[in-house]
């Protein structure tokens, strides 16, 4: 997973000890996905996080903790430990996301208290769909987001 920034190749799987890019920098990868550079207080690969205005990740502690404010959801493709910097997916053609047990493909998806997605929860993640079901147990599956993944977006 690579892209370029000002002619420099960027490795979207790299986790940085110090900030190498401005937080919130968005780049298109050669894999068809769009990535954003973030700071982390600890993020697990493939789970959903809220991206704050300052470029910091916030865990989805409950299905409704983002309140009524529209929020951008991002998905790291690698674990980004606390105090580190890295890249998360904002939208894309094929990336990995954590889905709850028996979550169906090609249906509306919602956040869960675990930070994964499910087809039977309360807060809709607009713009996201699974390409496959994880089956009878929670798992990492292929997903597509043709637009930014948002919660609490206005109808």
Can you tell me whether residue 90 is helix, strand or coil? Answer: strand
* Rounded alpha-carbon distances, angstroms, from residue 85 to 23, 24, 28: 9, 11, 18
CA 18 to chain centre: 21
* Rounded alpha-carbon distances, angstroms, from residue 2 to 30, 55, 124: 6, 20, 30
Nearest by Cα to 138 from 116, 109, 110, 113: 116
pLDDT tens track for 38-81 = 999 999 999 999 998 889 998 875 555 455 678 899 999 999 99
Give the predicted TM-score (pTM) of the model: 0.89
């Amino acid at each position: 997973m690579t892209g370029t920034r000002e002619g420099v190749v960027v490795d979207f799987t790299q986790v940085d000890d110090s900030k190498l890019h401005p937080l919130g920098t968005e780049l298109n990868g050669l894999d068809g996905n769009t990535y954003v550079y973030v700071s982390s207080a600890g993020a697990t690969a493939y789970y959903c996080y809220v991206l704050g205005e300052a470029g910091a990740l916030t865990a989805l502690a409950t299905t409704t903790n983002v309140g009524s404010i529209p929020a951008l959801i991002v998905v790291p493709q690698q674990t980004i430990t606390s105090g580190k910097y890295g890249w998360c997916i904002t939208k894309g053609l094929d990336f990995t996301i954590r889905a709850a047990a028996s979550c169906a493909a090609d249906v509306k998806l919602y956040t869960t208290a675990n930070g994964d997605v499910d087809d039977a929860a309360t807060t809709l993640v607009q713009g996201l769909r699974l390409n496959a079901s994880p089956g009878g147990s929670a798992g990492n599956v292929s997903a597509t987001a043709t637009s930014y993944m948002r919660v609490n977006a206005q109808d």
